[in-house]
A and B are shown apart, each in its own frame.
Chain A
């Protein structure tokens, strides 16, 4: 269908608006991180940096614990992501394919994990972890992140599995492939976009998780970026340059992740299979 001029104008203005809403804060943070302090707090804000400095980044990486927080965060987020994907895939396949009593009830029940506000489950979880000696360990964060990401990941992956034509699976069954092989060699490559979505969802959720990280971790050396960084900014005085540099540095692993898994988001993975 050919667009008329007003339609095109409306379309592109809409796109521009969305782009500005999403892009502006990001640009503000990134560009601010290389401005001199006086330009950051200038009465008339500057859209494009008039000055350039790396002093905020130098301070961030040399005189704060930010690098340690970054390593902690990357570790926690990566482990949470890997384990979540590794658990969600077989669980989703079981809910999708296997017949067992109470399957549908259980499938709905797992979403109950989201029924409670996190603050409500914080106390029992703290008590539980204290009993098994998990307080002040990064493992505790990994467990919590997995527990909260898994139900949604299972739902998401199951819906991706249901897009794979049944005949492909049946052909594999006739070819003598056991369930494990069907899942890993046939289904998993075909739902790569689903796995990528789950990975990104879990990584970001773990990366930005604040509440549990602030309560379950006690020692400074084990803090993750959101909690550790809140301490850096300062209780009485805000170092805006440091704040913006930290915020910029915190987005880098996520950007790298997107670049890495983005290529999985290709449509038409099953093209040629059944048509």
Chain B
């Protein structure tokens, strides 16, 4: 087991820079998740760590060893692909044992390690089957089995659950979490699904356009996003953003108003240094679950859709300025489509972002 560090890593395809200088250290035994929208460079970054993609600039170290130009097989990594990438003509046992065979291990040792991996992953009854005779979840477990037999220093997962249906995804997510607890290995995991990122990660790296937007623990990113991008990306349903104006700043609070929405001088706590003059037009961020009756702030809008999920419901409403908000509600019966409603919220949990999207 070892940590991993990326130093000013860049990747260019022709003239296009898809990863624009990433600096990152992954501690030994950490479960790090790269998350971001399509094309943000997260998979490219993972593939560079794996050695499947060359590094245009910068340096990659695994366990203090520079592996920037080392063959993938000699980096001490194992990778699980989104598409499983099993060898279809080989049995499950041969698939799992293949890396050991390539390492030149004697057959009895291969058999023993394959049996161990199969036990951990509940694959024992399927060892003599071919991949096509397995379900999607079983196939992905075989792919994980092939990774764990190598006892790598770092596990790499490239969207491993994206090909599975919703139920299997939840099940496999738990299995991967369990595996991490058992093996205590360093794991780097790529996903575009922020729920996966939140549930699995010890730390999340949010990427956008080849650049790190923020790194932090799941709750840290959720509660303290650095900008509107991270605030909008982490959390489901996403954070509501409302255009407001700062009328004055005092004692670490910004007092915001939006006449059209019925907001007047609501105090919102500032995170950073208090600006000398009111920053003018800003964005107020409120998570759907932070709306609650009796809150000091209130937004009025017309209910457009009510999504009932059972225990909770999401009420979608159009505000007077045309923007849309989503509000979590315990009781959907109190909201009727087409009716006006005032949604109260707690200004203490609201966040403020400047005109450039950065947190204030």
Q: What residues of chain A have their CB less than 8 Å away from a CB belonging to chain B?
A: 165, 167-168, 170-177, 181, 186, 189-190, 268-275
With an 8 A cutoff between CB atoms, is B89 at the interface? Answer: yes
Judge whether B79 and A171 touch: CB under 8 Å: yes
B window 270-322: CB within 8 A of A: none
Judge whether A177 and B83 touch: CB under 8 Å: no
Which partner residue on chain A sits nearest B156 by CB separation? A174
Known: A175-B73, A181-B102. A170 touches B130 (CB 8 A): no
In the complex, how many angstroms separate the beta carbon of A212 from the nearest chain B beta carbon? 38
Judge whether B81 and A272 touch: CB under 8 Å: no
With an 8 A cutoff between CB atoms, is B250 at the interface? Answer: no
Judge whether A177 and B52 touch: CB under 8 Å: no
Known: A176-B102, A181-B102. A171 touches B133 (CB 8 A): no
Contacts of A177 in B (CB 8 A): 73, 98, 102
Known: A168-B87, A190-B88, A274-B84. A175 touches B132 (CB 8 A): no
B window 90-113: CB within 8 A of A: 98-99, 102-103
Contacts of B103 in A (CB 8 A): 176
Cα distance, A167 to B86, chains bound together (Å)? 9
Known: A272-B130, A272-B131, A272-B132. A170 touches B102 (CB 8 A): no
Contacts of A165 in B (CB 8 A): 83, 85
Q: For the A-B complex with A172-B98, A272-B88 known, give 18 more contacts whose Cβ atoms are closer than 8 Å.
A: A170-B72, A170-B81, A172-B87, A174-B79, A175-B73, A175-B146, A176-B99, A176-B102, A269-B88, A271-B88, A271-B132, A272-B86, A272-B130, A272-B139, A274-B81, A274-B86, A275-B83, A275-B163
Interface centre among A170, A176, A268, A270 (most CB of B within 10 A): A176
Known: A268-B132, A272-B134. A170 touches B52 (CB 8 A): yes
In the complex, how many angstroms separate the beta carbon of B56 from the nearest chain A beta carbon? 16
Contacts of B139 in A (CB 8 A): 272
Cα distance, A274 to B82, chains bound together (Å)? 8
Cα distance, A190 to B131, chains bound together (Å)? 14
In the complex, how many angstroms separate the beta carbon of A182 from the nearest chain B beta carbon? 10
Contacts of B350 in A (CB 8 A): none
Cα distance, A168 to B86, chains bound together (Å)? 6
What sequence of 0s and 1s flags, for each residue 104-134 of chain B, a beta carbon within 8 Å of any chain A beta carbon? Answer: 0000000000000000000000000011111
With an 8 A cutoff between CB atoms, is B268 at the interface? Answer: no
In the complex, how many angstroms separate the beta carbon of B135 from the nearest chain A beta carbon? 10
Which partner residue on chain A sits nearest B77 by CB separation? A174
Cβ-defined partner of A170 (8 Å) among B78, B85, B98, B150: B85
In the complex, how many angstroms separate the beta carbon of B123 from the nearest chain A beta carbon? 14
Contacts of B86 in A (CB 8 A): 168, 171, 272-274
Cross-chain pairs A/B with CB under 8 angstroms, 28 sampled: A165-B83, A165-B85, A168-B85, A168-B86, A168-B88, A170-B52, A171-B79, A171-B87, A171-B146, A172-B87, A173-B72, A174-B50, A174-B72, A174-B78, A175-B98, A176-B99, A177-B98, A177-B102, A181-B102, A186-B87, A189-B89, A271-B132, A272-B131, A272-B139, A273-B83, A273-B85, A273-B88, A273-B131
Contacts of A189 in B (CB 8 A): 89
Cα distance, A174 to B74, chains bound together (Å)? 8
Contacts of A170 in B (CB 8 A): 52, 72, 79, 81, 85
Cα distance, A270 to B89, chains bound together (Å)? 8
Which partner residue on chain B sits nearest A273 by CB separation? B88
Interface centre among A165, A174, A270 (most CB of B within 10 A): A174
Which partner residue on chain A sits nearest B104 by CB separation? A176
Query: Closest 8 CB pairs between A and B?
Result: A272-B132, A272-B131, A176-B73, A167-B85, A274-B83, A175-B99, A176-B102, A273-B88
Judge whether A269 and B81 touch: CB under 8 Å: no
Contacts of B130 in A (CB 8 A): 272
Cα distance, A274 to B162, chains bound together (Å)? 12
Judge whether A270 and B88 touch: CB under 8 Å: yes
Cα distance, A174 to B77, chains bound together (Å)? 8
Cα distance, A264 to B359, chains bound together (Å)? 62
In the complex, how many angstroms separate the beta carbon of B124 from the nearest chain A beta carbon? 19
Judge whether B81 and A167 touch: CB under 8 Å: yes
In the complex, how many angstroms separate the beta carbon of B85 from the nearest chain A beta carbon? 4
Which partner residue on chain B sits nearest A186 by CB separation? B87
B window 3-56: CB within 8 A of A: 50-52
Contacts of B150 in A (CB 8 A): 175
Known: A171-B79, A173-B72, A173-B73. A273 touches B102 (CB 8 A): no
Contacts of B71 in A (CB 8 A): 173
Cα distance, A275 to B139, chains bound together (Å)? 9
Cα distance, A271 to B84, chains bound together (Å)? 12
Judge whether A171 and B85 touch: CB under 8 Å: yes
Cα distance, A181 to B78, chains bound together (Å)? 19
In the complex, how many angstroms separate the beta carbon of A275 from the nearest chain B beta carbon? 7
Cα distance, A177 to B150, chains bound together (Å)? 13
Cα distance, A272 to B84, chains bound together (Å)? 9
Cα distance, A189 to B77, chains bound together (Å)? 27
In the complex, how many angstroms separate the beta carbon of A165 from the nearest chain B beta carbon? 6
